Amino acid sequence: MTQLVYLIPLFPLIGFLLNGLFWKSMPKKLAGIIGSVAILASFCVALGIFFEVKSGGVPDKGIVHIFNFISVGKFSVPFAFLVDQLSAMFLLIITGIGFLIHLYSTAYMHDDAGYTKYFAYLNLFVFFMLLLVLGANYVVMFIGWEGVGLASYLLIGFWYKNKEYTNASKKAFIMNRIGDLGFLVGLMLTIYNFGTASYHEFFGQLSGGIGTMTDTGYMIGTGMTNAIAICFFIGAMGKSAQIPLYTWLPDAMAGPTPVSALIHAATMVTAGIYMIARSNALFNLAPMAQNMIAIIGLATVLLAASIAIKQNDIKKVLAYSTVSQLGYMFLALGVGAYVGSLFHVMTHAFFKALLFLGSGSVIHAMSGEQDMRKMGGLGKHMPITKFTFLIGCLAIAGLPGFSGFFSKDEILAAAYAKNPMYYYFALLGALMTAYYMFRAYFYTFSGSFRGTEAQKHHLHESPAAMTIPLIILAVLSVIGGYVGLPEVIGEHLNVGHLLNEYLSPVVQNFDVHHLSHSTEWTLMAVATALIVIMIIIAKAVTKKEQFKEATGLAKVLENKWYIDEVYDFLIVKPMAWIAKILNNVIELKGIDAGVNGVGQLVQWGSTRLKNLQSGQVGSYLFAMVIGIIIIFAIGIFGLFYA
């Protein structure tokens, strides 16, 4: 099966080409089938590879050579794929969640004029994401990295006739390019210092530790490792929406809701976590970078969670929730809990895809309405959506028995072991998560309906193509966490941490201290009790809250701490002013005037010179005489001075 790994990205690429080339003539139903079957086929191959990897039957260190890509002197970069425990896990997440989103999209986008084009873009996005996780070196990863940026630009701005949506797509593209520059610089530093872009060769040289020599003759020092690691982290900040490069992700809600689920749950935003986890051998030797990752991740948790508290757009709540949950993943990476971070990537893919698709089901029933203040009482009209959305809320809040409890508890425990202050702030973020998610749930599904009569008449449960993915994701949101039981529970049941055992050949936690069983029980009990209290508060607040204009801190949170306005004032407006000067002065009055001036001078001179060719013999004789006189004058003048 490993030798067939090329089929996994090939199927979505074929789907993209078929729907993309024939999008005008392709029947809608066939376009949806092609797009969905392409991802399902990739999932089937990925499933076979997963079991082969799990059984330990992968030859040649998991490297599958496709063709020679770059060869310059002794330096070469093959186009090769790496099949190991980490890539196999991500392949299942991307193709599995991706297929459910494609299936959901067949119903959600049914009436859209760009239906076929939509599935072409969706397949293209999955193709590049698969390249990103399959690459056996940083160059192939970077191709996929840039590709998902392009595909996300196309999907976020899918409804391009709306200027706000196109602005959102440009914002996502530009902010990702800022991060991508950091990744590119890190890649260049790696090649310059280590002479390779291959994971195996690079990590092999790092295995000697600080003070050893690279193959290019440089001594490995913390300055070198921190520089490369920080550059890679800057790339991750852009893709995975961390402070200060996070503002593109909430605006990405401009795209269709299934796109939000695909980008925000299982694929693009997890690329940064994947890259750092893949490069754990580097980050283990970069303590400054690790501390930076932990602090920025924790700051992102709190900032995004505080904003989500006062958002009224159901998709904006989920968007800022995604930013906050990504912060937890980076916090885990920063404290060396790589497995905990990847564990949360997996559980987050389940419950966040569920929540986004659930919100899409609500928006579909509400005829496009996204403001929760105009909803309410939808539970009796949409029982499946209500029940599955509730499971998603319970999972992301981290209540015992649900997937989010296990992964978030592992991150909180690792944070407490590293620095208790990390834990307290992370716990505060978890409490805010419980509050804003259940605020959204109660506003949407409880109480009385607050919309129009036309909307009320249209209310109904979504079709099976939309509810079946919700049910599957709801089941995964419950059982998905049992692959990583806490140590205190696992020892009691004589069950190990299955995900840790599976990933151990590739990713191992670094400098993570184990807590005593009593401390672990105490942390879990305190967190659970406080989360339940926050849910009760959310219920009480939503029951009494009057929809008045926000004031004070509430207004600041509703306006997202005015960070977009600050960016606009400090960056966008000055750059627009500089661009205006460059255009109106340098371009128009300088370059254009100079080029046009040369043309005008030639034209003026030619109109004068053409008068010499008058066709009159007398004029020509006169010109000859004048010429002879000038020649004689020059000759005499020369003899005189000689």
Please indicate, yes or no, whether residues 456 and 601 belong to a single structural domain of this protein. no
Please indicate, yes or no, whether residues 70 and 96 belong to a single structural domain of this protein. yes
Choice between 267 and 575, residue whose per-residue pLDDT is larger: 575
Average pLDDT over residues 511-533: 90
| Residue whose tokens read 């190990």 | 496
Please indicate, yes or no, whether residues 595 and 538 belong to a single structural domain of this protein. no
Q: What is the pLDDT of residue 15?
A: 94
Domain C-terminal end among 512, 533, 558 = 558
Please indicate, yes or no, whether residues 481 and 606 belong to a single structural domain of this protein. no
Domain C-terminal end among 502, 523, 558 = 558
Nearest of 399, 244, 267, 390 to residue 327 by alpha carbon: 244
Cβ–Cβ under 8 Å, residues 70 and 139: yes
248-277 residue pLDDT tens = 999 888 888 898 888 877 688 889 999 999
pLDDT at residue 8 tops 70? yes
pLDDT at residue 604 tops 90? no
* pLDDT above 90 coverage of the chain, percent: 57
45-84 residue pLDDT tens = 999 999 999 888 777 688 898 889 888 888 889 999 999 9
Q: What is the pLDDT of residue 496?
A: 81
Residue 596's contacts (CB-CB under 8 Å, 6 or more residues apart) are none
Distance CA 417, CA 507 (A): 19
Nearest of 248, 267, 252 to residue 102 by alpha carbon: 267
Greatest Cα pair distance, the chain, in angstroms, is 119
Number of domains, the chain: 3
Average pLDDT over residues 406-420: 93
Burial bucket for residue 490 (CB in 10 Å: 0-12, 13-18, 19+): middle
Domain-located, residue 10: yes
Please indicate, yes or no, whether residues 534 and 587 belong to a single structural domain of this protein. no
Please indicate, yes or no, whether residues 548 and 571 belong to a single structural domain of this protein. no
Tokens of 91: 């392949």
Q: What is the mean pLDDT of the chain?
A: 89
Average pLDDT over residues 624-637: 84
Please indicate, yes or no, whether residues 403 and 461 belong to a single structural domain of this protein. yes
Q: Report helix, strand or coil for 563.
A: helix
Please indicate, yes or no, whether residues 516 and 551 belong to a single structural domain of this protein. yes
Q: What is the pLDDT of residue 297?
A: 95
Range of the domain at 501: 337-558
341-393 residue pLDDT tens = 999 999 999 999 999 999 999 998 888 888 888 888 888 889 999 999 999 99
Residue 211, phi then psi, degrees to nearest 5:
100, -10
Please indicate, yes or no, whether residues 549 and 522 belong to a single structural domain of this protein. yes
Q: What is the pLDDT of residue 641?
A: 63
Distance CA 337, CA 532 (A): 26
Domain-located, residue 13: yes
422-468 residue pLDDT tens = 999 999 999 999 999 999 999 999 888 887 888 888 888 888 989 99
Domain-located, residue 311: no
Count how many residues are written for the chain: 642
Distance CA 289, CA 587 (A): 42
Domain-located, residue 291: no
Q: Using 50, 70 and 90 to split pLDDT, how confident is the model at 327?
A: very high
Tokens of 365: 């029933």
